[in-house]
Structure 1
Amino acid sequence: MNNVVIVESPAKAKTINKYLGKDYQVLASFGHIRDLPSKDGSVRPDEDFSMDWEVDRDSQKRMAEIAKAVKGADKLFLATDPDREGEAISWHLLEVLQAKGVLKKVETKRVVFNEITKSAILKGIDNPRDIDIELVDAYLARRALDYLVGFTLSPVLWRKLPGARSAGRVQSVSLRLVCDRELEIETFVAQEYWTVLVDMTTPEQAALTARLVELDGKKLEKFTLGNAGSADEARARIAQSVFHVAQVESKPARRFPQPPFTTSTLQQEASRKLGFSATRTMQVAQKLYEGLDIGGETVGLITYMRTDGVSIAAEALASCRDAIEQNFGKNYLPPSPREYKAKAKNAQEAHEAIRPTDLHRKPESLAGMLTDEQLKLYDLIWKRTIASQMEAAVFERTSADIRSVDNKVALRATGSVQKFDGFLKLYQEGRDDAGEDEDANILPALTSGMDLATRDVRPEQHFTEPPPRYSEASLVKKMEELGIGRPSTYASVLQVLRDRSYVRMDKNRFIAEDKGRLVTAFLESFFRRYVEYDFTASLEEKLDEISAGTIGWKEVLRAFWSDFSASVEATKDLRVTEVLDKLNDLLAPFIFRPTEDGRDPRSCPTCNVGSLSLKIGKFGAFIGCSNYPECRYTRQMADSATGGDELAEGPKLIGTDPASGLDVTIRTGRFGPYIQLGEGDKPKRASIPRDVPLENVDFDKAIALLSLPREVGLHPESGKPITTAIGRYGPYVSHDGKFVSLQSTEDVFTIGLNRAVTVIAEGNKGRGRSAPEPLRQFGDSPVTSKPVKLMSGRFGPYVTDGTTNATLPASVNLDALTLDEALAIIAARAAKGPSTKSARKPAAKKPAAKKAAAKPKAAPKATAAKKPAAKKAVAKKPAAKTTAAKKPAVKKTAKAKPE
């Protein structure tokens, strides 16, 4: 018997092939085999959302191999991942194989397994099913929505907000979360408050600390003691009072373990405890799931890592409880297994939680077999899974009410004692804050009526703090709470925000960049509904209803497109000046912050005549004077928030260059603060890098920046100089026309010759002819999600998004080319369709022409004769649409749904 099994990845195929034996041939599709072409019209709302699908060049080769294997097979098992994307890949495979006509005598079934183990795979093969059409419909709806939003809204941004890059259904709402938090921080006004702590001792000289909670019979609120004066008065009252214990109350308390990991909680905890980004967490988890070499055998170590379920299979629960008893004893094993229910909004609990495939495979047994990252993540998953089924930790919490003899001053002391560590013996969940553990304080033995002596009274000043910026962990948690997106997409969404320079990371926290704030402000002004949290969450609920089979996918698309297209249409006549006026008002708290001297923050500090407002240039947004060109004052958008506004009054003199005798000043321009030497038409200037705080730029640092480029020394092999400098893409080291990026600005001034030679050598590895290096690389395309690159071709420079290549006009300045401009050029090229030259390629078969034509005149005839064949190839396109619409192989299993 000849059976073919198709999975996504070669690693997965290799593992499964070992378990199934010689009657099975396991092939990999390498993920999705086709997608919507990156051109306008791939999804057509006017044709009831019909879609064109395109198989890329690499997938065409793989599909030819798969079709060849399937043609002579008895059975075909589609064994892609057990989620919506996996179901979609199986559907695409089925559609393409049917179009190739290789499934006529082949029995086709869908199989799923939650873990790559022999028992799970054999069980899946023995229990096949048909493709779940509801999951496919949910995929089609999401793919169409993301395409329509990205391909419709992004061009609006390019036209109305130059410098903006792209918008997305989930991406833009996630960006709004970061921008809203940034605005909260910037507009936050700190409020002073005081607390009073009292150090006391018992008659046995045991120490404790109590807090003032009541004064003159009135309960203290947070801001009751609002200044030093009121705190000192309270201190004096306490110092004059005599205290005793009025009441002691002790209560038992239990702390229960957290459920095993879902996709989002794994990303959060790996961020907190291991410092992994969401993307890195998923990459490592994928390896653990697909299988690694353990003692000469490829073994899948964890269950499927894209899930929001928190349940564990019965056999795994039994194994987990057995492992707890063996490793920790019966005291740590609850009487019955714990059951968990997902708290996340829109949770789909079709799959298990993430757990080890073998609970008896302890992390220490894998040391030396896994990479450091793999072992750390496996250890985290193993401990969380085991701890989730362990006994609760038991505490005794004590609260003592302490009062003065006159009953006018009341203090409170609290603490707890751990009676049984339970699951805490193995695992404690990480925290985003650095607060004290609530169970860390232990009180001495106290009894009612006991006299206490006052040793010290400590008033402490506090200020309210703004909410913290989002970390990856807290942002993922917030998105999940609001029901924005799905856990399986969080990693890619957050990566897109970074790649497009909408946000940057600082100490593992998201900070909104100017570009991101502009895009968010624009969308809030003109497409507010589509960046509202509730609207996005409700749309996610509808998409989940599609997968449940309770609503038709085209019904959801029709409702969305009706309003969305009208909103886009309403912006067609919108002028850029109208957009800027709206953004000026919306971003005023950020870009026009109140001044200490009370002057109008929008008054130009240079000419005192013009008014400052938001301007849009080729390189993005900046603040400029309305009195242009008489006044050429400019500054960056964020200067008022970052300290750059201290230069608003003009250049700041920081010293005199001893070599030239010229003044060294710090100034600010539309591209940020910079150093200038002297005056004149073309004075020497040096930009201040972003990783160098303005307050750290002293005279020595300024001279060092002006002195660049710096010669490190001569290369020991070539004898040519090695230099360091700072370019528009950051710090770098160069040698003989080659450039390699450096990690930080400080490296430019401190790197030595030996390290520079090493950096250059490592940076030049792998640069062979087989993979031409791009001249420049921008962010990802909103349509293809692939990097947009500037390349050098035989006919001149061109830009590509991985699918469409667009030659650049001679008038384009390559150094000034932005991602938005590149995307616009690519979109214009894609809209034209295939070139005439490209379209003729399939028809022009030169070998056949050579045989038929001995004379030069015969060549045109051969070409002409081939034209009908070219038409046939074009005519096949509608057939692909029909296939996608009919879904012949899955129609039998589809439930009747309204469309």
Structure 2
Amino acid sequence: MSKNLVIVESPAKAKTIEGYLGKDFTVKSSFGHVRDLPKDNNAIDISNGFRPTYEITADKKEVVAQLKKLAKEAEIIWLATDDDREGEAISWHLKEALNLKDSVIKRIVFREITKNAILNAIQSPRAIDIDLVNAQQARRILDRIVGFELSPVLWKKIKIGLSAGRVQSVAVRLIVEREREIEGFESKSAYKVAALFDLGKGKTLAAELPSRFEDEKEARAFLERCVGAAFSIKNLETKPAKKSPAAPFTTSTLQQEASRKLYFSVAQTMTIAQKLYEAGKISYMRTDSTSLSEEAIQKATAEIESSFGKEYIQVRKYKTKSESAQEAHEAIRPTDFSAQRVSGDRNEQRLYELIWKRAIASQMADARLERTTATIAIKPKAELSLEKALLSNSGELKEQLVATGEVIKFDGFLKVYIESSDNEDEDEESKGMLPPLTIGQALNLSQMKATQRFSRPSPRYTEASLVKKLEEMGIGRPSTYAPTISTILKRGYIIKEDREGKERSIKEFVLQQNAIKEALNKEVYGAEKAKLFPTDIAMIVNDFLVQHFPNVVDFSFTAKVEKEFDEIAQGQKEWVKMLEIFYDGFHRRIEDTQEIQRSSVGKSRELGIHPETGEKISVRLAKFGPVVQIGEAEEDKKPRYANLKKGQMMERLTLEDALDLFKLPREVGMLEDKPMSVAIGRFGPYIRHDNKFYSIGKEDDPYSITDSRAIEIVLNKRKADSEKFIKEFAENPEVKVLNGRFGPYISIGKKNIKIPKDKDPKGLTLEECLNLAKNAPEKKGKFAAKKKAK
């Protein structure tokens, strides 16, 4: 047995490190946390200084037993868990779980898994930092208290199975408030004017009016002033400009950019980054620092000089904006700047390439640009009698068109990397160059358009933009963003999906050959791609928390708590005192909820009266989601119910919307003298005909499907079924010979049996089928229970 036992968090990391340290070291993995708070209410002794009780988790008992045995045989135990609060806490839990004495422990940290980093860490061990441990304990205990005391309140007052959390509830609030902001937004239209000039020899010049007209009357009047007008270049202004690269990645900026450029979810980005880190390819992926070490800068600049030349180098030292950032840590970067590719799957390569480009670009020269702005004067026809207010002293219109362009004089960091943006309106492409122009040059107008444009609300959050917002507000930390988003999606508070846009008409006035024509075009607006939408339950829970637990979902309060955790980590605040102050106010509010009537929580809303029957119509939250209800439960009749359509929300539903939902089931026509009806069931919309059911796909709307389409669906399904059945047996209807995805097979009840290749499926007898079933080996299902060894 080796004298040295090194304990790391993951087996992949263990394998890499063992190769660097040699035969005197044994490297083993703890597979993450080995202890946690038990799931019952006795985990925290609140009255005794919030003393936690930890237990070795069931899946780690064997791991702990093996580590205990190895620790007894070793002289030194090196605790090499991650260099953050979570990693520090894991080291402390290992010390406690393995009953290790301080004299045999050496705590080592590194931010990358390279030979130099590991050997340097071995040369500079330290003790376990109890302040970091206490910061992690305070977070874990506070979050457990919030969850354990607040969730039961939600169960009693709203619905069983709900949960609340200090960060997750704030994230949900942001999404709920953005949804309401969008729903309350009143879109206003304005007219954008763009012109195209023909310069001859195939060259054109595009220009725009900097301001927009509020209504069509003003827009049309402007075009009328331009009929027969003379256009000329009044001014040309050329200015030098520069673009600087973005800082190297922090955890959140990596999550944002991987979402924009690679379409990765936040959780997917972290999983892939973890693999790259454990394989020794990148530095530690949980960081809020943008700084690079001197060694990393030297390696990056050497690679830039080698690949692009000395003129592309511009050393930068980035300062992190976040007060809590630990500057001793580094941004996410490659461990070897000379390696542009890594072994691994395609997504690992794509993420690594993104990290490499961003880190390299951060040490590259600014891009130098030249921006040109051309101002175009408009001189109306002399016979037009215009008000003086519209004209300048020179007789030109006060409105002037502007054309802009830019040329890259030196590409600098743009040779490697261009940062993406969350702004959906922003054009990331550089503007093209302007053709050669001179002051006073006359321009020949090809056409001028005044196009109606509508204002848009703030966009719904993507995973990436939600992370950005939380970080800006100081809520959560690098390690919390991915699990927070996963939690609110899993709990059903938020759904992530694409939604189709709606169509609307837009007016356009076109001036061409001295005539103005009006056109009516169409545009699709409001299409959503991978956006986060709140569910009805999110709306109800958020409103309840805002009203009764403002601190839990208060943005500044949640950010203040994060700051207090930082102060505990730095030894500036006592963790138990911090918890006491929080708990006093929080628990009082929990006790006050006893007075809240369940009926007062906004789980239902009356929509109006049925115009024909006079019955009350309401929408409410039922066991399996929101439903519309007509009537009340009475002895002789039951209420009627209908589920909401996709995208409909309780708080926006109108009486008309509700009545539409009861248009199903509806009869759509006849087939073979029997009616076909359409309805929505537990598994989605379907057609019912002759007591048989035929599913309707997403491409068809059950509310508008035609009889011809319904007949097509029924006949297609019949055809598919007829091709599926090869043989049936009247004497035993349970036995069937069928055509499946992988060829013919025998079906008996829930059991499927392969047909030997030497057997003709059409010629099988009932007896042969039963014998094949009898002799078929028992299949072990994926989730079959393992038999215990006796």
Pairwise TM-score range, normalised by the shorter structure: 0.7 to 0.9
**Given the alignment, which residue of 713, 717, 721 partners 2:724?**
713
Alignment of 1:339-738 (within 5 A): 339-344=317-322, 346-363=324-341, 366=342, 369-405=343-379, 406-408=395-397, 409-432=399-422, 433=424, 435-437=426-428, 439-506=430-497, 507-580=529-602, 584=605, 602-605=607-610, 609-625=614-630, 627-629=632-634, 632-636=639-643, 639=648, 645=658, 647-648=660-661, 650-651=663-664, 653=666, 655-659=668-672, 661-666=674-679, 674-675=685-686, 677=688, 697-699=705-707, 711=721, 713=724, 720-721=737-738, 737=750
- SS of equivalent residue, structure 2 residue 480: helix
> 1:611 offset after TM fit, Å?
4.2
Which region of structure 1 is more displaced relative to structure 2, 644-653 or 242-251? Answer: 644-653
Which residue is equivalent to 1:896?
Answer: none
The alpha-carbon distance between structure 1 residues 698 and 187, as it changes in their structure 2 partners (threshold 3 A), is: farther
- Residue pair 2:736, 2:748 contacting (<8 A) in 1 also: no
Taking the aligned partners of 1:280 and 1:715, their CA distance within structure 2 comes to: 45
- SS of equivalent residue, structure 2 residue 607: coil
Equivalent position amino acid for 1:161 in 2? I
Which residue is equivalent to 2:510?
Answer: none
1:121 equivalenced with 2:89 (yes/no): no
Taking the aligned partners of 1:417 and 1:695, their CA distance within structure 2 comes to: 55
> 1:505 offset after TM fit, Å?
2.1
- Residue pair 1:580, 1:614 contacting (<8 A) in 2 also: no
- SS of equivalent residue, structure 2 residue 436: coil
- Residue pair 1:606, 1:649 contacting (<8 A) in 2 also: no
> 1:107 offset after TM fit, Å?
2.2
How many residues are treated as equivalent by the alignment?
Answer: 691
Taking the aligned partners of 1:274 and 1:517, their CA distance within structure 2 comes to: 31
Which residue is equivalent to 2:92?
Answer: 91
Taking the aligned partners of 2:402 and 2:411, their CA distance within structure 1 comes to: 26
Taking the aligned partners of 1:545 and 1:169, their CA distance within structure 2 comes to: 18
1:160 equivalenced with 2:157 (yes/no): yes
> 1:397 offset after TM fit, Å?
1.1
Equivalent position amino acid for 1:498 in 2? L
> 1:202 offset after TM fit, Å?
5.0
Taking the aligned partners of 2:338 and 2:64, their CA distance within structure 1 comes to: 40
Which residue is equivalent to 2:758?
Answer: none
- Residue pair 2:288, 2:320 contacting (<8 A) in 1 also: yes
The alpha-carbon distance between structure 1 residues 440 and 129, as it changes in their structure 2 partners (threshold 3 A), is: same
Alignment of 1:811-822 (within 5 A): none
Which residue is equivalent to 2:223?
Answer: 235
1:151 equivalenced with 2:141 (yes/no): no
Taking the aligned partners of 1:287 and 1:445, their CA distance within structure 2 comes to: 53
Which residue is equivalent to 1:854?
Answer: none
Cα deviations across residues 594-629 of structure 1 (Å, max 9, x unaligned)? xxxxxxx82133656344444343323333346444
Cα deviations across residues 391-415 of structure 1 (Å, max 9, x unaligned)? 1111111222222342323222222
The alpha-carbon distance between structure 1 residues 698 and 52, as it changes in their structure 2 partners (threshold 3 A), is: farther
Taking the aligned partners of 1:135 and 1:735, their CA distance within structure 2 comes to: 62
Taking the aligned partners of 2:787 and 2:704, their CA distance within structure 1 comes to: 44
Equivalent position amino acid for 2:784 in 1? P
The alpha-carbon distance between structure 1 residues 231 and 685, as it changes in their structure 2 partners (threshold 3 A), is: farther
Cα deviations across residues 784-818 of structure 1 (Å, max 9, x unaligned)? xxxxxxxx999xxxxxxxxxxxxxxxxxxxxxxxx
1:273 equivalenced with 2:261 (yes/no): yes
- SS of equivalent residue, structure 1 residue 570: helix
1:103 equivalenced with 2:92 (yes/no): no
> 1:122 offset after TM fit, Å?
0.7
- Residue pair 1:607, 1:631 contacting (<8 A) in 2 also: no
Equivalent position amino acid for 2:672 in 1? A
What root-mean-square deviation, in Å, do the aligned CA atoms of Structure 1 and Structure 2 show?
3.3
- Residue pair 2:668, 2:710 contacting (<8 A) in 1 also: no
- Residue pair 1:6, 1:27 contacting (<8 A) in 2 also: yes
- Residue pair 2:725, 2:737 contacting (<8 A) in 1 also: yes
> 1:439 offset after TM fit, Å?
2.4
> 1:347 offset after TM fit, Å?
3.5
Which residue is equivalent to 2:287?
Answer: 307
Cα deviations across residues 834-883 of structure 1 (Å, max 9, x unaligned)? xxxxxxxxxxxxxxxxxxxxxxxxxxxxxxxxxxxxxxxxxxxxxxxxxx
> 1:81 offset after TM fit, Å?
0.5
Identity within the alignment, %: 39
> 1:211 offset after TM fit, Å?
1.6
TM-score (norm 2): 0.80
- Residue pair 2:687, 2:696 contacting (<8 A) in 1 also: no
Cα deviations across residues 58-115 of structure 1 (Å, max 9, x unaligned)? 32222122122222322111110011110000010111222xxx538x5212100111
Equivalent position amino acid for 1:656 in 2? G
Which residue is equivalent to 2:26?
Answer: 25
The alpha-carbon distance between structure 1 residues 645 and 56, as it changes in their structure 2 partners (threshold 3 A), is: same
The alpha-carbon distance between structure 1 residues 686 and 203, as it changes in their structure 2 partners (threshold 3 A), is: closer
> 1:189 offset after TM fit, Å?
2.6
- Residue pair 2:610, 2:617 contacting (<8 A) in 1 also: no
The alpha-carbon distance between structure 1 residues 672 and 627, as it changes in their structure 2 partners (threshold 3 A), is: farther
- SS of equivalent residue, structure 2 residue 671: coil
Taking the aligned partners of 1:200 and 1:72, their CA distance within structure 2 comes to: 85
> 1:339 offset after TM fit, Å?
1.2
Cα deviations across residues 508-529 of structure 1 (Å, max 9, x unaligned)? 2222223333322332333233
Structure 2 unaligned regions, length at least 5: 380-394, 498-528, 728-734, 742-746, 753-777
Taking the aligned partners of 1:388 and 1:684, their CA distance within structure 2 comes to: 65
Cα deviations across residues 1-42 of structure 1 (Å, max 9, x unaligned)? 712111111111111112112222212111000100011121
**Given the alignment, which residue of 321, 324, 335 partners 2:304?**
324
Which region of structure 1 is more displaced relative to structure 2, 412-421 or 239-248? Answer: 239-248
Taking the aligned partners of 1:393 and 1:233, their CA distance within structure 2 comes to: 43
Cα deviations across residues 705-754 of structure 1 (Å, max 9, x unaligned)? 789897472699x9644789xxxxxxxxx996389xxxxxxxxxxxxxxx
- Residue pair 1:203, 1:452 contacting (<8 A) in 2 also: no
The alpha-carbon distance between structure 1 residues 87 and 206, as it changes in their structure 2 partners (threshold 3 A), is: same
Taking the aligned partners of 1:704 and 1:528, their CA distance within structure 2 comes to: 56
Which region of structure 1 is more displaced relative to structure 2, 699-708 or 474-483? Answer: 699-708
- Residue pair 2:157, 2:597 contacting (<8 A) in 1 also: yes
Equivalent position amino acid for 2:436 in 1? A
The alpha-carbon distance between structure 1 residues 426 and 521, as it changes in their structure 2 partners (threshold 3 A), is: same
> 1:316 offset after TM fit, Å?
1.1
TM-score (norm 1): 0.71
Taking the aligned partners of 1:169 and 1:257, their CA distance within structure 2 comes to: 35
Equivalent position amino acid for 1:330 in 2? K
Cα deviations across residues 490-513 of structure 1 (Å, max 9, x unaligned)? 111111222222222223222222
Equivalent position amino acid for 2:663 in 1? G
> 1:572 offset after TM fit, Å?
1.9
Taking the aligned partners of 1:660 and 1:686, their CA distance within structure 2 comes to: 18
- Residue pair 2:85, 2:133 contacting (<8 A) in 1 also: yes
Equivalent position amino acid for 2:339 in 1? R
- Residue pair 2:619, 2:629 contacting (<8 A) in 1 also: yes
The alpha-carbon distance between structure 1 residues 341 and 189, as it changes in their structure 2 partners (threshold 3 A), is: same
Structure 1 unaligned regions, length at least 5: 214-219, 292-299, 585-600, 725-733, 740-765, 774-791, 795-899
Taking the aligned partners of 2:573 and 2:784, their CA distance within structure 1 comes to: 49
Cα deviations across residues 544-584 of structure 1 (Å, max 9, x unaligned)? 12112211111221121111111221112322211137x74
Alignment of 1:70-89 (within 5 A): 70-89=71-90
Which region of structure 1 is more displaced relative to structure 2, 389-398 or 497-506? Answer: 497-506
Which residue is equivalent to 1:757?
Answer: none
- Residue pair 1:684, 1:706 contacting (<8 A) in 2 also: no
